[in-house]
Structure 1
Amino acid sequence: MIGGEGPADPRWMVRGAWIEYAQKFKALCINLEHRYYGESHPTEDLSTKNLQYLSSYQALADLANFITSMNMELRLNKDIKWIAFGGSYPGSLAAWLRLKYPHLVHAAVSSSGPLLAKVNFMEYFEVVVNALREKTGGEECVEQLKLAHYQIVTLIRTNPEIIEKEFKLCKPFSEATTNDMKNFYNSIADDFADLVQYNEDNRIGADKRYLNLTINTVCNMITGEGSDPAYKKVANFNSIILEKTNQTCLDYSYDNMINELRKVSWGSDEARQWTYQTCTEFGFYQTSSGEVEVFGNLFPINFFIKQCQDIFGNKFDQNFITSAAHWTNAYYGALGISVSRVVFVHGSVDPWHALGVTTTETNDTPAIYIHGTAHCANMYPSSDKDSSELVEARVEIEQYLSSWINLP
């Protein structure tokens, strides 16, 4: 199992779909942490100069070196076949590892992997809005969100103190900069982004914010009967998030966010490392450009480009980031990746499927598209609440693995 933009979690060594596959195939399981994350500290600190060694292609080289070393240390003969598993960014790495090191990796399961590097990832919030429709079976929730956004914008202009109070802001709008305001609107949208991305999943170490919070329960809150206006219902959802994350107020200060991301010591929030990878390889900026009616075009691409520059330096401008994304797509092949024995798995509710392979092009690169499931759902331990389509997907993955393992 390939590690990603966070610490390696030992719970994955005893739970999850890959463990169930391993038991059936009598396989050895190894989980390798990604350089620069968790306790994998290759440099003295996280200065921009030292981050030059943080990239997907160097992480792949680590994996190749690790496999070669394990083959020698454990005296694994040539009949032993390595299978790569990964979800989200590691889902991309799993496919790319098979692409770049086919002599070392026999097959891969790429779950929810975004293979297309895209700077302005406007489709993200388009999928979020479509997921609200798909899971609730109608337009009512989306219409209420549109109304809430209109009311918030209007009240900030006419009676800002109402929004300051309802959203429990750490500082009044009278002290807010233009970038603070973009950050405020982005934070409201992100509440819904996280809700959708991890909807109804059975995650290992699930984020406590979203226990009992699903698209349906939150949409019921927003569309339910009662005299509260739409903006207040959205504010109530925001209050639940603040409470579950032990925040007394919503800090939408742009400078506070940037200062946090400028910290170069190990042990700080690992968001600095992932932000660096987005600025130098992928983009992946979830802008408001695709869903202006629902969230307003209030956190456009320049908001995210500015963050790269403010954190890492002026050279990280739009041309730099666009060129970096083009290089990544040329290096790996993007959605035209030419690879074999990789199964691509995505869920319709997961916004990241918009950048992934969702249709089968060849028999040895099958795509499994699971309706109604969110991010990496197929990887998690099975549950009685799993849909029949999710259960079927896990069986299908096992069948592909079985047929590939038997190939020379």
Structure 2
Amino acid sequence: MVRHLLNMKILPWTLIVFVLLIFCNTSLAWRRFLRGRSRYNLGYPDVSKQINLPKELWFQQHLDHFDPTNAKSWPQRYFVNSEYYKENGPVFVMIGGEGEANATWMVEGQWIEYAKQYKALCFQLEHRFYGKSHPTSDLSVKNLVYLTSEQALADLAYFIEEMTHLHQIPADTKWIMFGGSYPGSLAAWMRVKYPHLVHGAVSSSGPLLAQIDFQQYFVVVESALKTHSQACVDAISAANNQIHIMLHSPLGHQNLNKKFKLCDPIDPSGTKRNDISNLYETLANNFAEVVQYNKDNRQSSKIKNYTIDTICDILVNETKGIPVDRLAEINSLLLEANMEKCLDYKYSKMIDELRNISWKSEMAEGGRQWFYQTCTEFGFFQTSTARPKLFSETFPVDFFIQQCTDVFGPRYNIHLVEKGVERTNILYGGLHLSTTNVVYVHGSIDPWHALGITNSSNIQTPSIYINGTAHCANMYPASADDLPQLKLARQQIGKLIGKWLE
């Protein structure tokens, strides 16, 4: 088709736009939300006014902090905002995570409100291998060995030393780390591993316990949906049962292809079990994504317009047909919100995309990198193990381990994952961190709170558990619709930072 277009006498810019529309309208559903990670990552704050963003800056970072004989370096991206800084003020650092760093965070977000209050100098450091911070020529396995949380923490340590020198920051200045989700873990670990450099940390929605079978994830998703009604959960279970029945007949296949707008028809032989597992997991992730980011203030995705109430209102509305029809309607809504024409569930397509080692590939926006980190350090496999009757029994741990092997090679098997997870928990302490001046913040609706510290009696490392809020809700700018308990949590965090800075 593209070759045919090239032979047509049309303007170059028209051709470019047309071709882009062809490729951009293919489905990216499983890429949109993969292993608990949105392709938008934290997104960026909702900004209602026109603002001037700081320019991106670069400094030379070591490739391997743990091999002094390796002299290779690479340019790492960062941003700085000195607008609120006053002499002898603190330094705040927002840690980049498994996606591109966004300059909007340098002028908006709750941490900026704290910066205004305490006259802080603000930095944001992009995580190695994400965004524009490319330490190596490609994303091959031999290069991904430099993608670890340990290397990322050392990046931060060297960054602190470099910025201290570059900006002539006084030696007794207090540095405070901020991070949400995986960077929330990094923020806490920075205080643990580099206490001589970091004075305090705000760890938002950070999973601290590495775990292979993260079966609690969908338990929390179910609990969150129940805040609407038991009928909502029952409708999901009924819909999945109907899908199971439809998978056993050619007519059922045809109906599923049509209802869920599948990019490829279901294999009639029934031999491609991974395709079916991928289909079930993708449909389950429709709920996971909405729940995880329920009512946050992100601006980067139309998904934010759909909440638990939105999808559950559809599911319990019997005038919209049988349960599977209602489930299909939700799927169509989310496809449309992301400008996707069809649902891509084919296992082989996913694996092929994840195997692409080029920085120009779609998965280079963070999908391949995060996949690698889960296979080597964290696990975090959101299985259906604990809720097989609700989301099906088709995506247990073995399904995720096979993905690691298929993408990265045979040595990336269950034994390697087990060693990696064990090592991570030994390095950092799991849920038993020994430190001070860290606050752990979690929302009850956020599935990731199940691997974090939500009940700390230590006044030096308190936890704030916000009922009714989702992933990293405390990090976004305040909204008139914020729950009272979220407003209170932001105030509590601000007071804690003040105590650390006394």
TM-score (norm 1): 0.97
Instruction: Specify the alignment match of 2:282 in structure 1.
Output: 187
Instruction: Specify the alignment match of 2:240 in structure 1.
Output: 149
- Answer yes or no: is 1:63 the counterpart of 2:159: no
Q: How far did residue 225 of structure 1 move?
A: 3.8
Instruction: Specify the alignment match of 2:255 in structure 1.
Output: 162
Instruction: Specify the alignment match of 2:372 in structure 1.
Output: 276
- Answer yes or no: is 1:79 the counterpart of 2:175: no
Instruction: Specify the alignment match of 2:431 in structure 1.
Output: 335
Instruction: Specify the alignment match of 1:217 in structure 2.
Output: 310
- Answer yes or no: is 1:296 the counterpart of 2:379: no
- Answer yes or no: is 1:240 the counterpart of 2:336: no
Instruction: Specify the alignment match of 1:107 in structure 2.
Output: 200
Q: 1:350 aligns with which of 434, 441, 446?
A: 446
Instruction: Specify the alignment match of 2:419 in structure 1.
Output: 323
Q: Structure 1 or 2: larger strand share?
A: 2
Higher RCO (CA-CA < 8 Å; seq separation 6+)? 1
Distance 1:13 1:246 in 2: 29
Distance 1:267 1:380 in 2: 30
Q: How far did residue 280 of structure 1 move?
A: 0.7
Instruction: Specify the alignment match of 2:499 in structure 1.
Output: 403
Check whether the contact 2:206–2:448 (CA below 8 A) recurs between aligned residues.
yes
Amino acid at match of 1:160: H
Aligned length: 402
SS of the residue corresponding to residue 95 of structure 2 reads coil
Q: Percent of counterpart pairs with the same letter?
A: 52
Per-residue displacement from partner, 1:221-268 (whole Å, max 9, x unpaired)? 110140500000000110111122222211111010001001111132
Distance 2:475 2:340 in 1: 31
Q: How far did residue 79 of structure 1 move?
A: 2.7
When the two chains are superposed, the root-mean-square deviation of aligned CA atoms in Å is 1.0
Per-residue displacement from partner, 1:338-377 (whole Å, max 9, x unpaired)? 1110000000000000000001131110000000000000
Q: 1:254 aligns with which of 341, 347, 353?
A: 347
Amino acid at match of 1:361: S
Q: 1:91 aligns with which of 184, 195, 203?
A: 184
Q: Structure 1 or 2: larger helix share?
A: 1
Instruction: Specify the alignment match of 1:8 in structure 2.
Output: 101
Distance 2:400 2:492 in 1: 39
Amino acid at match of 2:340: Q
SS of the residue corresponding to residue 5 of structure 1 reads coil
Distance 2:264 2:110 in 1: 45
After the TM superposition, which residues 342-381 of structure 1 pair with which residues of structure 2 at under 5 Å, given as runs? 342-381=438-477
Distance 1:109 1:97 in 2: 11
Distance 2:491 2:140 in 1: 45
Amino acid at match of 2:462: P
Q: 1:19 aligns with which of 112, 118, 130?
A: 112
SS of the residue corresponding to residue 242 of structure 1 reads helix
Distance 1:242 1:374 in 2: 22
Q: How far did residue 174 of structure 1 move?
A: 2.5
Per-residue displacement from partner, 1:110-163 (whole Å, max 9, x unpaired)? 0000000001100000000000112x1x31100111111111111121322111
SS of the residue corresponding to residue 130 of structure 1 reads helix
Amino acid at match of 2:414: Q
Instruction: Specify the alignment match of 1:35 in structure 2.
Output: 128
Check whether the contact 2:437–2:460 (CA below 8 A) recurs between aligned residues.
yes
Instruction: Specify the alignment match of 1:200 in structure 2.
Output: 295
Per-residue displacement from partner, 1:17-56 (whole Å, max 9, x unpaired)? 0000000000011000000001101111110001010000
Amino acid at match of 1:333: G
Distance 1:216 1:247 in 2: 23
SS of the residue corresponding to residue 333 of structure 2 reads helix
After the TM superposition, which segments of 4 or more aligned residues of structure 1 sit over 4 Å from their partners? none
Check whether the contact 2:216–2:386 (CA below 8 A) recurs between aligned residues.
yes
Flag the structure with larger Rg: 2
Check whether the contact 2:314–2:320 (CA below 8 A) recurs between aligned residues.
no
Deviates more, 1:385-394 or 1:239-248: 239-248
TM-score (norm 2): 0.79
- Answer yes or no: is 1:383 the counterpart of 2:462: no
Per-residue displacement from partner, 1:290-327 (whole Å, max 9, x unpaired)? 11111011111111101101111100111110111010
Amino acid at match of 2:240: H
Amino acid at match of 1:50: N
Distance 1:37 1:219 in 2: 35
Amino acid at match of 2:245: T
Check whether the contact 2:225–2:233 (CA below 8 A) recurs between aligned residues.
yes
Distance 1:293 1:225 in 2: 21
Structure 2: runs of 5+ lacking an equivalent: 1-93
Q: How far did residue 164 of structure 1 move?
A: 1.4
Distance 1:142 1:37 in 2: 36
Distance 2:145 2:277 in 1: 29
Distance 1:73 1:356 in 2: 36
